[in-house]
Amino acid sequence: MPERPALLFFGASDFAVPTLHALNSDGYALRAVYTQPDRPAGRGRRVQSTPVAIAARALGLPLEQPARLRTPEVLDRLAAYEPDVVVLASYGLLVPPQALAVPRLGWLNVHPSLLPAYRGASPVAAPILAGEEETGVSIFLMRAGLDDGPLLSQRRVPVDANETAGELTGRLAELGADVLLDTLRRWSDGVVTPAEQDHALATYASKLSREAARLDWSESAEHLARRVRAYNPWPMAHTHWKGERLRVLRAHSDASLGEGAGETFTTPDTRLPAVGTGDGALVLEQVQVAGGRAIDGRAFLAGHADWTGSRVGEVG
């Protein structure tokens, strides 16, 4: 049996953690784990570690947290580990060509979309926004371009009709770990032939922003429901009501109901808060008022008797 390659692992977010655990459990020689530095985050600006840093420490693995990979010192240290292959999943920092050239078997990237579709920063949210019925995971060989390297493997899965981006990320993270292990074995054994992506079919998923998550009530209810799913858990779809921000965590469209765009009402059968849109109504299943906790729609109505007959979307 061929000797297993020595690895470095690069990752940062929750999406990367199952792959790190899978490699460790499968007995690979993980010489080091690279992730982003600890940084202040949240309202209290407390210093926080990435999920990958937390996982690596729990596993007792050597941890590197450079702010950049371009410096000679960082590049020399990376090369000193003498990795045969590097596995990367949701790392979030630029990998320079000098680093890409270090391992003899290259860098394998675990990407949560069916490349060449949805290259870029938000490949999980993008297919939800587009109303895609399926997505998946791609393992590809990295090179200097943005997610444009040759494919080694892919696996497809359906997108569930009510699935949020957070839930889909969790499913794809577990799937990605499985696909990576299988692909890495076959790549190390020399039985995988890289296949160039069809660059003419490439689409790009830009970075999510809070402004993009503001609900435009002139759009159709179906499209707004997709936005609610795609922006959960971040940046979270929102509107304004009574001059305060109202987050919409879960919602569904109902083409049989209709009021003017931005007009609020209560659904006659399910007794849930709803808003008229450009086409149909958006029924709010779970919301969060400014400074409050997430509550279901009925609990919101119980505490806000003035919901029906008002309007949303006005900052005030």
Summarised one tens digit per residue, pLDDT across range 232-264 is: 999 999 999 999 999 999 999 999 998 899 999
Residue 268: pLDDT band with limits 50, 70, 90: very high
CATH 3.40.50.170 occupies which residues in the chain? 6-205
Architecture of domain 6-205 in this structure: 3-Layer(aba) Sandwich (3.40)
Domain 211-303 indexed as CATH 3.10.25.10: yes
Neighbours of 271 (CB within 10 A): 11
Question: With 90 as the cut, is the pLDDT of residue 44 above it?
Answer: no
**Tens digit of each residue's pLDDT (9 = 90 or more) over 273-285:** 999 999 999 999 9
Which phi-psi region, left, alpha or beta, contains residue 45 (left: φ > 0; alpha: ψ -120 to 50)?
left
List the structure tokens of 102. Answer: 């270090």
Question: Of 5, 206, 208, nearest to 108 (Cα)?
Answer: 5
* CA distance linking residue 187 with residue 193, whole number of Å: 8
Question: With 80 as the cut, is the pLDDT of residue 122 above it?
Answer: yes
Helix axis angle for 51-59 and 17-25, nearest 10°, is 20
CATH 3.10.25.10 occupies which residues in the chain? 211-303
Chain centroid offset of residue 212 CA = 16
Question: With 80 as the cut, is the pLDDT of residue 42 above it?
Answer: no
* CA distance linking residue 225 with residue 162, whole number of Å: 9
Residue 157: pLDDT band with limits 50, 70, 90: very high
What pTM was estimated for this model as a whole? Answer: 0.95
Which phi-psi region, left, alpha or beta, contains residue 254 (left: φ > 0; alpha: ψ -120 to 50)?
beta
